[in-house]
């Protein structure tokens, strides 16, 4: 099934639910950045989280940035997701591989590290961006993002994200976000019900791998609570706004001496985009034009 995002409500609008499938875009990120298994699982979970968080921003150009800096070997995990369904991201050390954890799963918590910080910036496209920081809970991403939503955005939330990756690549990836909205936030019972139901699930990817669709998954969780699924389905994809012109702009900032040096030593320059792994080749004539512009 193509990557997609759907929204729903339940309990007379007291519950907001979002589901996302990111199998293809996580596979795309794996290929682009040459990610290890555990790096694929980490970035896939973080990209699903970014899309889920961006899904409640109505402005067309709204974006959310997630930076996860733990004390594990993976280094920085960065995701940039938009309300338009685009997402991009990278991990600092994409080749890091770790043995499975005690549950026999990819050790995302060990790779990210259990100590450190999660930073989130919400930018609606104008005005001052909103930002928040929380300490990592487990480095497993889902719990860390949920902790951010509860403490920094004061919205009781349950978040479930997962990635299944093997020798044939990513075969399942996605997640669910369930939130109790302010009108029902005092309803402790509702929060308990959601936590209990999400807690009973053994993960998100087993549902996908069993052939369940997003509406079926939401039905299973919230069907008896007045679930209303919105008819609009949003396509989501890996996308980076980088271009050769932007790379040239960045090279220009290096200044004349450095550019001249690149022309003499390398007959040009090779620059890769940190966010998507795209490699751009600038030839000497491009660099000479930049020098003339300076
Ligand atoms: Zn790029």
Measure 168 CA to ligand 1 centroid, in angstroms.
Answer: 25
Measure 243 CA to ligand 1 centroid, in angstroms.
Answer: 7
Same domain, 175 and 123: yes
Q: Show which of 194, 213, 238 is a domain's final residue.
A: 238
Concatenated DSSP letters of 37-68: HHHHHHHHHHHHHHHHHHTT--STT-EEEEEE
Same domain, 179 and 280: no
Measure 274 CA to ligand 1 centroid, in angstroms.
Answer: 6
SS3 state at 198:
helix
Averaged pLDDT, 269-276: 91
Same domain, 251 and 189: no
CATH of the domain at 132: 3.55.30.10
**Per residue in 102-150, pLDDT tens?**
988 999 999 999 999 999 999 998 888 999 999 999 999 999 999 999 9
- Which of 67, 26, 70, 71 minimizes the C-alpha distance to 45? 26
Q: Show the domain range for 283.
A: 244-293
Same domain, 140 and 64: yes
Measure 210 CA to ligand 1 centroid, in angstroms.
Answer: 34
CA distance 118 to 43: 14
Q: Show which of 238, 262, 285 is a domain's final residue.
A: 238
Measure 215 CA to ligand 1 centroid, in angstroms.
Answer: 33
Residues in the chain: 294
Same domain, 129 and 17: yes
Measure 31 CA to ligand 1 centroid, in angstroms.
Answer: 14
Measure 30 CA to ligand 1 centroid, in angstroms.
Answer: 14
Measure 27 CA to ligand 1 centroid, in angstroms.
Answer: 16
CA distance 249 to 251: 5
Averaged pLDDT, 34-57: 97
Please give the pLDDT value at position 77: 98
Torsion of CA 210, 87, 57, 231, to 10 degrees: -40
Q: Are the C-beta atoms of 81 and 64 separated by less than 8 Å? A: yes
The two beta strands, 130-135 and 116-123, are antiparallel
CA distance 88 to 276: 7
Q: Are the C-beta atoms of 21 and 208 separated by less than 8 Å? A: yes
Averaged pLDDT, 45-50: 98
As given in the structure block, the two tokens for residue 20 are 């996302």
Measure 87 CA to ligand 1 centroid, in angstroms.
Answer: 11
Share above pLDDT 90 across residues of the chain, in percent, rounded to a whole number: 81
Same domain, 254 and 224: no
Tally of structural domains, the chain: 2
Same domain, 198 and 52: yes
CATH of the domain at 259: 3.90.1280.10
Q: Are the C-beta atoms of 218 and 227 separated by less than 8 Å? A: yes
**Where is 79: in which H helix or E strand?**
strand 77-82
């Amino acid at each position: 099934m193509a990557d997609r995002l759907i929204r729903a409500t339940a309990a007379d609008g007291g519950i907001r639910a979002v589901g996302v499938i990111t199998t293809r875009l996580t596979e795309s990120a794996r290929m682009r950045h040459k990610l290890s298994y555990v790096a694929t699982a980490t970035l896939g979970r973080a990209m699903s989280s970014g899309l889920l968080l961006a899904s409640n921003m109505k402005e067309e150009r709204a974006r959310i940035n997630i930076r996860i800096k733990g004390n594990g070997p993976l280094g920085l995990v960065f995701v940039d997701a938009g309300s338009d369904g685009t997402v991009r991201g990278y991990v600092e050390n994409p080749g890091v591989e770790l043995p499975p954890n005690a549950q026999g799963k990819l050790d995302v918590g060990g790779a990210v590290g259990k100590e450190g910080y999660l930073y989130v910036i919400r930018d609606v496209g104008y005005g001052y961006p909103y930002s928040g920081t929380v300490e990592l809970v487990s480095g497993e991403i889902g719990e860390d993002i949920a902790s951010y939503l509860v403490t920094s955005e004061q919205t009781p939330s349950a978040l479930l994200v997962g990635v299944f990756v093997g020798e044939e690549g990513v075969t399942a990836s996605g997640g669910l976000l369930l939130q109790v909205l302010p009108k029902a936030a005092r309803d402790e019972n509702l929060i308990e019900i959601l936590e209990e139901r999400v807690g009973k699930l053994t993960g998100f990817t087993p549902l996908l791998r069993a052939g369940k669709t997003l509406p079926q998954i939401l039905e299973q969780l919230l069907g008896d609570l007045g679930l209303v699924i919105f008819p609009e389905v949003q396509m989501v994809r890996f996308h980076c706004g980088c271009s050769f012109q932007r790379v040239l702009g960045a090279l220009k900032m290096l200044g004349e001496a450095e550019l001249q040096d690149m022309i003499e030593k390398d007959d040009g320059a090779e620059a890769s985009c940190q966010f998507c792994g795209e490699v751009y080749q600038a030839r000497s004539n491009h660099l000479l034009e930049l020098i003339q512009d300076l």
